[in-house]
Chains A and B, each alone.
Chain A
Amino acid sequence: EDQVTQSPEALRLQEGESSSLNCSYTVSGLRGLFWYRQDPGKGPEFLFTLYSAGEEKEKERLKATLTKKESFLHITAPKPEDSATYLCAVLRSNDYKLSFGAGTTVTVRA
């Protein structure tokens, strides 16, 4: 069974204080690993897809990286508007269904 574990559960940062979120996974035959951002009361917003170990993607202050066992979401010099829950999900080859982690809730204080 696919397993996706995110850590930490919650992260409180000062504005400008860079940090990383972890997503470790076990899946047989990874088709893709996905990062989403979710604001309270809203649906998840797609951020990145990573396909293979060594791949990196960037968007504004966010950078996602992938190894064979885990992915990191680095937040560089965060701002209060980066406060959200960040979800990680994996998709197995020849499958349709995403397996989600429980998420990391990030709070950035001004």
Chain B
Amino acid sequence: DVKVTQSSRYLVKRTGEKVFLECVQDMDHENMFWYRQDPGLGLRLIYFSYDVKMKEKGDIPEGYSVSREKKERFSLILESASTNQTSMYLCASSFVQGSPEAFFGQGTRLTVV
């Protein structure tokens, strides 16, 4: 079974803190994604990466950065957390070739106070 693991289920951080969300996948997928999910807004893509050290902005990249130093690991960084970044964050991965479906982690509920 594909496994996408996010480092935390719940996080509470203070405004202005630097926050790291980690994601690891075990399927040798080339693509990895970070989404946020908010009520009424659905899933919105923050960043994605199609290879090690490669990244592209998604629909809402402002206030976020990412790092992909190894194929299996994709990190989302909130440089200076703000209350409007309180959300559910979801990591996903998929193949470039072959089966295109994306598999998701269990999510990280981040609260910024």
Contact = CB atoms under 8 A, between A and B. Distances in A.
A42 B106 contact: yes
Given A96-B48, A100-B43, A43 B107 contact: yes
Contact of A44 (B48, B94, B99, B104): B104
A33 B15 CA distance: 39
A98 interface: yes
Interface string B73-113: 00000000000000010101010100111111111010000
Contacts, number: 52
Interface size class of A (residues with CB under 8 A): 20 to 34
Interface size class of B (residues with CB under 8 A): 20 to 34
Contact of A97 (B4, B58, B90): B58
Interface of A: 31-32, 34, 36, 41-46, 49, 87, 91, 96-98, 100-103
21 contacts: A34-B101, A34-B102, A41-B88, A41-B109, A42-B106, A43-B6, A43-B105, A43-B107, A44-B90, A44-B104, A46-B101, A46-B102, A46-B104, A49-B101, A96-B31, A96-B96, A97-B45, A97-B58, A98-B43, A100-B42, A100-B43
